[in-house]
Amino acid sequence: MVTPGRAAQELELRRDEFRLAVQLGLVRTVPTGEGERRRVERRELDRLRAAPDFPAGLRERVRAVGTGEAAALLGITADRFTRLARTGHVSPVRFSLNRYRMVVWMYLAQEVVEFGLTCPDLLTGRLPPHLRELLAAHEDRRARNWRARRLALLLRAAEDPWARAAAIASLLDPVQVAEVVDDPYERTHLDRLRPSPPPGMPVSPVAREIAERLMRADDPDEILWHRLSLALALDEARAERQAPHPGETRAGGVGAPAVAPASTVALAGPVRAEAVPAVPAPAGRPAAGDRPVGRPGRARFLERFRRRREVGAARSRRRRRPVAWP
């Protein structure tokens, strides 16, 4: 096995390109020892280097472009591409902050080209009325689509149901998490398993605060969706094992079952996740331990979720937004 730096050199990728290739699942890594250190097996490098289009094909699949270059690929203006991205037609793959602390979104060049081939009607002429209505309402789905992509990648890499729940919780404000997870020991366990922030996070406090805001859900519908997904993920995690309490240890390592106090609390095997960041409810949940798990609180939350969806649907039928012409 080789280190990520060595693997990037052999694959003829820059460091940021290699990290993106790993996140997208183009390059498979394996854990080595404790912590989050991961390496690349030699046979994985041989597989990638044996591709007929190596190295140009691999570099093209991880090529990220900004707004101007993406617009040039489609033959449209940067302003029109921004409108299409704001309405959710192209999802960013990462972001950065410039010297003025403005958010700079990056897109996969391959996805931009595929969008142009799939939706050529949106590249010329006036935008459809429903898109103009969204833009008039100041709709911007870029951050939300980036969060959805990031969550899908985190769920795919999650190693057990608790890590899966922690990935969902990382998109919610701590107050929102506390309302769904009423057990303080479970909240502590989720915080311990919280995924690390994406590479390239800014260092300055102001810029870092902006980046952290982008990493958390801000739309009411998005917040409700993640709260519901977190509640269902907790059911699945509790069915696997309970969160550790004081007196329980983690000495057994990955894969050990959770038993009595002072036993090992470990991670289970890998869990696959698709791009949709919802967590299916478990088919049959075995009886939990003797301690309470806060069922009434989650039941009330699910009931409020259903009522708010019904009220929102009724309001949307009564309200019509004025159509503007950008």
* pLDDT, tens only, 137-181: 999 999 999 999 999 999 988 889 999 999 999 999 999 999 999
Closest CA to 160 of 254, 262, 73: 254
pLDDT band at 30 (very low <50, low <70, confident <90, very high): confident
Who's near 207: CB < 8 A, 6+ residues apart? 97, 101
- Give the contacts of 97 (CB within 8 A, at least 6 positions apart): 103, 104, 202, 207, 210, 211
**pLDDT > 70: what percent of the chain?**
74
Provide the pLDDT confidence category of residue 302 given band limits of 50, 70 and 90: low
Give the confidence band of 27 by pLDDT, cuts at 50, 70, 90: very high
CA 197 – CA 167 distance, rounded (Å): 11
- Looking at the DSSP assignment, which residues form a beta bridge with residue 166? none
* pLDDT at 291 exceeding the cut of 70: no
| Region of poorest pLDDT, from 55-59, 119-123, 306-310 | 306-310
Q: Identify the weakest region by mean pLDDT among 187-191, 227-231, 273-277.
A: 273-277
Token pair in block for residue 101: 């602390």
274: number of CA atoms within 13 Å, CB side?
4
Q: Which two tokens stand for residue 156?
A: 């795919």
| Percent of the chain with pLDDT strictly greater than 90 | 59
CA distance 61 to 58: 5
pLDDT in the model for residue 34: 56
